[in-house]
Amino acid sequence: MKTIANGLVLKGIELSPAKENIVIDDDNNIMEISKDALEGEIIDASGKIVCPRFMNAHTHIGDSIIKDEGDGLSLDEMVKPPHGIKHIALESADDDELIDAMRESMWDMYNLGISHFIDYREGGLEGVRLLKEAAKDIPITPIILARDSSFYGEDANYHQVKVAIRKLLKEADGIGLSGFGEIDTTVAEIICEKCEAAGKISSIHVAESEDNQFASLEKTDKTEPQRAFDAGFNQIVHMTNPKEDDINQLSRSDSSLTICPRSNGALSVGIIPLFDILKTGVKPLIGSDNIMINSPNLFREMEFTLKIMKGISKDYIAPVEILKMATTNVGINTSLASKINKPYIEVGQKAEFMIINQKSNNPYLSIINRTEVNDISDIF
């Protein structure tokens, strides 16, 4: 039994600050949260914030092998399969090199307070197995979204696509697609149908660039987000360049949105109109995207996001809403909550939080603006 005492606890889905103690049992369950509770080993959190650990909701951890390569290249030159420099590097890397690079990135994420990450895993079934091997003995939970080369092209063999999906879903947590530029509508629909039947996640990049949006409209008379909603994807990533009624359709859909603003900036594809999205009631998640472009540091991601969005919208965005994107929004998103068990700080939940030095009177801005890795004193 342990008690985390005297800390400022960010409780529940809303991250409500309360000066209370947290009692944890020997199975790492939160038994009580109150001002007076004191049992077992006492861990003094005076002057500190007790915050849920983070979920990095979008990574490509495989490209840890080519950090900071390709600077100045276009989005397609960097990451479009199968000829982007990332995919060429992944094809030429040996297994041990990939595993070592992915392990290093996972330890980085753990030390930065991340408990879960959603990874778009290239390399088919073997890619899934390599990430699982790399994750052994690291106290972090990878949520692995796989893909297969049979999905690509206008003349995909739908029987082969179904066979590949069945094999992938036996070992992966879902399917994560590069985008509609590489697959046809039928493949997208098959993937969503099979993932839903298996209780797994279906995810796709959409509207990352304006060029992608224009190409989709020209080809199908629909935007990429509209096609994703029609197909039934659980999660869409980016939507940096919404068109027409994309934002309102998102708010009415069952799809979760993950944003990656630092990546969008690095790739010169724009900045998502987050203020307009938040006004509709959408509760996004946040991710750092390709490790070749960004460190997987969500403190950096949140600070960049908060400040760039306020600058563009010229309006107020509450810091707590940005922090929720990295912590508790996944728990209220109906398309993902049943598929990702990400605890928050409440009685009955697993104790999965970190203790952070409080550097200002505003706990949310203290975390977003001022926390460095050495400010994390304990990770549970």
Instruction: Report percent pLDDT > 70 for the chain.
Output: 97
Tokens of 327: 């912590």
Model confidence at 86: pLDDT above 70: no
- Whether 77 has a pLDDT exceeding 80, the answer reads no
Of the pLDDT bands very low, low, confident and very high (cuts 50, 70, 90), residue 84 is confident
Assign 3-state DSSP to the chain and report helix, strand, coil percentages, each to 5: 40, 25, 35
pLDDT digits (tens, 9 = 90+) for 17-51: 999 999 999 999 999 999 988 999 999 999 999 99
Q: Are 187 and 204 in contact (CB under 8 A)?
A: no
**Arithmetic mean of pLDDT, 356-363:** 98
Task: List pLDDT tens digits, range 93-119.
Answer: 788 999 999 999 999 999 999 999 999
How high is the pLDDT of residue 200?
A: 97
Q: Which pLDDT value is given to residue 334?
A: 74
Reported confidence tier of residue 153, pLDDT bands at 50, 70, 90: confident
pLDDT band at 74 (very low <50, low <70, confident <90, very high): confident
pLDDT in tens, 170-184: 999 999 999 999 999
Q: Report whether 64 contacts 89 (CB < 8 A).
A: no
Helix (H, G, I), strand (E, B) or coil at 135: helix
Query: Do residues 289 and 59 make contact, with C-beta atoms less than 8 angstroms apart?
Result: yes
Q: Quick one: pLDDT at residue 87? A: 67
- Nearest CA among 353, 355, 333, 331 for reference residue 342: 331
pLDDT of residue 154: 83
What pLDDT score was predicted for residue 263?
A: 96
What is the average pLDDT across 284-294? 96
Q: What does pTM read for this prediction?
A: 0.95
List the Cα angle 225/156/246 in 5-degree steps.
Answer: 5
Q: What is the pLDDT of residues 314-351, one digit of tens each?
A: 999 999 999 999 999 999 877 898 899 999 999 999 99
Nearest to 274 by CA among 291, 290, 257: 257
What local confidence, expressed as pLDDT, does residue 78 receive? Answer: 66
Q: Looking at 68-82, 125-139, 188-202, 293-307, which range is the least confident one? A: 68-82
Buried b (16+ CB within 10 A) or exposed e, 280-314: eebbbbbbbbbbbbbbbbbbebbbbbbebbeeebe
Query: How confident is the prediction for the chain on average, in pLDDT?
Result: 94
CA angle 13-113-298, nearest 5°? Answer: 80
